[in-house]
Structure 1
């Protein structure tokens, strides 16, 4: 049995991990076996830029944290090398980890995840990963909203350039 100092340090780590998991809206568990330092550095940079908390975690510590938060269904995934990506954005961890798994071709594998306190399967993670980032979605919505207004502005500008004259009508058939 570990001494009291080591045990209290581990309990503090589990408490911090439990708090992070509880606060996170979504999380993805991955097996990172075989990635290089350069690949890991690039992944961590991308995670930081997108507000994703990414860390390598001991399976035992993560198991305790998951059991404390009601996510004990994920215990079966906690073997081998494990890292965890957490975020308040539901899409970001799934998108980043999925893109990384595609780039690294077998060296980086998604094990599972959770969203809003519930365990989700790999299919759900993949579908979340296919959703564009929030700024891209906002731009698409804004573009859709501005298209009719832009069209109206172009027509009004053309009318103003012609001096307010009505466009000549094509020869209409005479009404009899």
Structure 2
């Protein structure tokens, strides 16, 4: 690749590191072209892109993006999965791909600027997505309010019931 193309690629990678919510690094030794295409297709559904780029270019881009910690992961054939949307959803998609394609193994990740070693990156699969977590918090916040409304309504319902009973007895 001529130097201007390499510089453009480094600039593109730097921008992808900065604009994505996370990036997962995986070794792809033994992954066929057909399998890599299938991995890309499956990750696209989770707003994640799978890229195979030279380690030297990835190293330069990571430095420019301020991600010095990930440099230790750039040894051997390394692919980068850039996560565009919810980091947990993207990480789950990558980990699902590693189950389907054993030749693809997770090395580590950087999620929202925070470096995660291999085990921590795999632990992301056990977390719930952002939408589910927000829904649970909203439900927990709503529950006390619903109980309060029920308690406030109960005396009014008792009075209305008593008046209705009185009306039936008088008739």
Q: Could you say whether these structures have the same fold, taking a TM-score greater than 0.5 normalized by the shorter chain as the test?
A: yes
Relative distance call for 1:149 and 1:97 in structure 2 (3 A) is same
Please say if 1:80 is aligned against 2:47: no
Aligned residues, how many? 158
Other-structure match for 2:166: none
- Structure 1: where are the runs of 5+ without partners? 167-176
Q: Could you give the per-residue CA deviations for residues 66-100 of structure 1, whole angstroms, max 9, x where no partner exists?
A: 23334344334332252332346443332322233
Other-structure match for 1:55: 51
Return the offset for 1:116. Answer: 4.2
Deviates more, 1:127-136 or 1:55-64: 55-64
Return the offset for 1:160. Answer: 2.9
Return the offset for 1:23. Answer: 3.2
- Give the helix-richer structure, 1 or 2: 2
1:128 and 1:152 map into 2 onto residues whose CA distance is 37
Q: Secondary structure at the match of 1:55?
A: strand
Q: Secondary structure at the match of 1:106?
A: coil
Return the offset for 1:157. Answer: 6.9
1:27 and 1:41 map into 2 onto residues whose CA distance is 14
Other-structure match for 2:19: 23
- Structure 2: where are the runs of 5+ without partners? 164-171
Please say if 1:119 is aligned against 2:115: yes
Relative distance call for 1:66 and 1:140 in structure 2 (3 A) is same
Question: Root-mean-square deviation (CA), in Å?
Answer: 3.2
Other-structure match for 1:66: 62
